[in-house]
């Protein structure tokens, strides 16, 4: 189906995923797709919604009021709900009825409006607007303009090679075809310090030493890229989130105070790319956007830029990113296990010359209690329960895996098994530990 999406329609889906991620929702629903249509902005669908005052701010506020926010950020792959799948199928039918079969944002919106039981339609009604009138407005607009709208960013006139695209990224002026490249950063990344300002990140405790080391690495003139090394579950990404919270509070050192931390989903870049040249073009446009901002620090997980991209796109991402690091056009924070870092730097000595490590130790039981305690308030708020003091110590004792991640996971499961308003005690923790061992 997605091969029939226009570039703008693909952007809508990516933006819907970002809306779900910003709300810490572990699914993509019709409400997120509605926000994606609004966020994309440059389509007749967004214009129709704007005519009824359905802009991002009130719609997003209504989503938060009606559904709330999740506790933990979702994983890299967020599934669609059954209803949004039906709406996408309806969008395909709408594209054949009102177009040439290529799905645009207008068809996506028509697909949403076809299901009166959907969250998107209920949101529109709650905001005092008639979904049927919105639908008529969309049809009116696409009746006077081609529904298969042109792509927001024109295709390059010819396939872009690795070396050509890398050269364009470092050219003194905007690269041809990349005049509107800045949205690429918004499309593929999440602003962590903005998330911190909005209270969407978990508090970080017991990591002052690692955060200080990260600040020192990023403050250097050369080799100012950091790899947070440690075992999965040790809280490596928490170090980057701790820095984001420093920046949000205005407590970061002067030279980092105006920086923006962007968690980039490199796996999304190749999604929907028709061939290698299009994937190369997307990577180059993203790096151009980062270079043009000048204040962005890219945050990724597990050496993502150097592990390739989904599909048959080869190692082009690592080539581009390493070149940008060498030319000091990009600052990077990523994570790795000691073994994966050793293997990568052995295979790529040039990378080793651009990075420094920040060791993220696995905490002992005493330190883990403080880290789990910092997460307890968010768990209590999410599950509407109270966590007894003895429960925190017991999850440290019974957790099977790397601390603090395994202990927080166990406490989350224990909270999920307690009725709202109840208190999580030792019996609940032991029951959750048994359940997790069986799964």
Domain 365-438 of CATH type 1.10.8.60: yes
Give 176's DSSP letter.
T
Q: Which CATH number fits domain 162-359: 3.30.565.10, 2.60.40.10, 3.40.50.300, 3.40.50.2020?
A: 3.40.50.300
> What residue spans in the chain does CATH classification 1.10.8.60 cover?
365-438
> What residue spans in the chain does CATH classification 3.40.50.300 cover?
162-359
Whole-number Å distance between alpha carbons of 317 and 369 = 39
pLDDT in tens, the chain (439 residues): 667 888 888 888 888 888 888 888 888 999 999 999 998 877 889 999 999 999 988 998 899 888 888 877 777 678 889 899 999 999 999 998 888 788 999 999 999 999 988 999 999 999 999 999 999 999 988 873 433 443 333 333 333 333 333 333 333 333 322 223 235 676 678 889 888 988 888 889 999 999 999 999 999 999 999 999 999 999 999 999 999 999 999 999 988 999 999 998 776 676 666 666 666 667 777 777 787 788 999 999 988 877 655 554 445 567 778 778 888 888 999 999 999 999 989 988 888 899 999 999 999 999 999 999 999 988 998 899 999 989 999 999 999 889 999 999 999 999 999 999 999 999 999 999 998 988 7
Contact 299, 264 (CB under 8 A): yes
Whole-number Å distance between alpha carbons of 152 and 331 = 28
Residue with tokens 């049927």: 132
Whole-number Å distance between alpha carbons of 131 and 120 = 9
- Residue 27: name the closest of 63, 55, 62, 65 by CA: 63
Strand-strand pairing, 423-424 and 386-387? parallel
| Tokens describing residue 269 | 């870049």
Q: How many helices (H) and strands (E) does the chain have?
A: 21, 8
Residue with tokens 């950091």: 226
Dihedral Cα 172, 178, 180, 182, nearest 10 deg:
-70
Contact 49, 221 (CB under 8 A): no
**Angle made by CA atoms 284, 286, 290, in degrees to the nearest 5:** 115
| Tokens describing residue 17 | 């995923």
Whole-number Å distance between alpha carbons of 358 and 100 = 53
| Tokens describing residue 261 | 């931390």
What is the DSSP code string of 238-282?
A: HHHHHHHHHHHHT-S-GGGTT-EEEEE-GGGTTTT--SHHHHHHH
SS3 assignment, position 227: strand
**If 0-12 CB within 10 Å is exposed, 13-18 middle and 19+ buried, where does residue 395 land?**
buried
In three-state form (DSSP H/G/I as H, E/B as E, the rest C), the secondary structure along 17-79 is HHHHHHCCCCCECHHHHHHHHHHHCCCHHHHHHHHCCCCHHHHHHHHHHHHCCCCCCCCCCCC
Q: How many CB atoms lie within 10 A of CB 89?
A: 13
What pTM, to 2 d.p., does this model score?
0.57
Structure confidence at residue 163 (pLDDT) = 32
Domain 2-144 of CATH type 3.20.20.70: no
Structure confidence at residue 308 (pLDDT) = 59
SS3 assignment, position 191: strand
| Tokens describing residue 293 | 């901002």
SS3 assignment, position 195: helix
> What residue spans in the chain does CATH classification 1.10.1780.10 cover?
2-144
Structure confidence at residue 314 (pLDDT) = 46
SS3 assignment, position 6: coil
Strand-strand pairing, 260-264 and 189-191? antiparallel
């Amino acid at each position: 189906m997605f091969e029939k999406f226009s570039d703008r329609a693909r952007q809508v889906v990516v933006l819907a995923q970002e809306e779900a991620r910003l709300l810490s929702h572990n699914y993509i629903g019709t409400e997120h797709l509605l926000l994606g249509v609004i966020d994309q902005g440059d389509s007749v669908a967004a214009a129709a919604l704007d005519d009824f005052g359905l802009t991002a701010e009130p719609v997003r506020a209504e989503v938060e009021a009606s559904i709330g926010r999740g506790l933990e950020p979702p994983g890299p792959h967020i599934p669609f709900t059954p209803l949004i799948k039906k709406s996408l199928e309806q969008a395909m039918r709408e594209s054949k009825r009102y177009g040439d079969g290529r799905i645009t944002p207008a068809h996506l919106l028509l697909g949403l409006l076809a299901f009166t039981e959907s969250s998107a339609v209920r949101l529109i009604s709650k905001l005092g607007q008639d979904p049927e009138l919105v639908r008529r407005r969309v049809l009116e607009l696409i009746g006077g303009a081609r529904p298969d709208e042109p792509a927001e960013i024109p295709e390059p006139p010819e396939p872009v090679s690795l070396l050509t695209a890398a050269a364009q990224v470092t050219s003194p002026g905007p690269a041809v075809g990349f005049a509107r490249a800045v949205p690429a950063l918004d499309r593929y990344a999440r602003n962590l310090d903005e998330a911190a300002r909005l209270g969407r990140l978990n508090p970080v405790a017991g990591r002052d030493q690692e955060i200080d080391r990260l600040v020192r690495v990023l403050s250097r003139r050369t080799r100012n890229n950091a790899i947070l090394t440690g075992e999965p579950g040790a809280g490596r990404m928490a170090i980057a989130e701790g820095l984001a919270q420093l920046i949000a509070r205005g407590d970061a050192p002067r030279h980092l105070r105006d920086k923006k931390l962007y968690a980039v989903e490199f796996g999304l870049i190749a999604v929907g790319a028709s061939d290698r040249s299009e994937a190369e073009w997307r990577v180059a446009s993203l790096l151009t956007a980062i270079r043009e901002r000048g204040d962005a620090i890219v945050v990724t997980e597990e050496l993502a830029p150097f592990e390739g991209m989904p599909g048959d796109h080869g190692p082009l991402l690592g080539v581009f990113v390493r070149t940008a690091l060498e030319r000091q056009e990009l600052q990077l924070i990523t994570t790795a296990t000691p073994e994966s870092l050793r293997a990568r730097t052995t295979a790529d000595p040039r990378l080793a010359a651009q990075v420094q490590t920040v060791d993220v130790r696995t905490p002992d039981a005493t330190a883990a209690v403080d880290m789990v305690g910092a997460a307890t308030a968010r768990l209590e708020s999410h599950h509407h329960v109270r966590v007894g003091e003895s429960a925190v110590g017991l999850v440290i004792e019974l957790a099977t895996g790397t601390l603090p991640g395994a202990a927080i996971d166990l406490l989350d499961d224990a909270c999920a098994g307690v009725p709202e308003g109840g208190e999580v005690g030792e019996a609940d923790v032991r029951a959750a530990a048994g359940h997790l061992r069986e799964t």
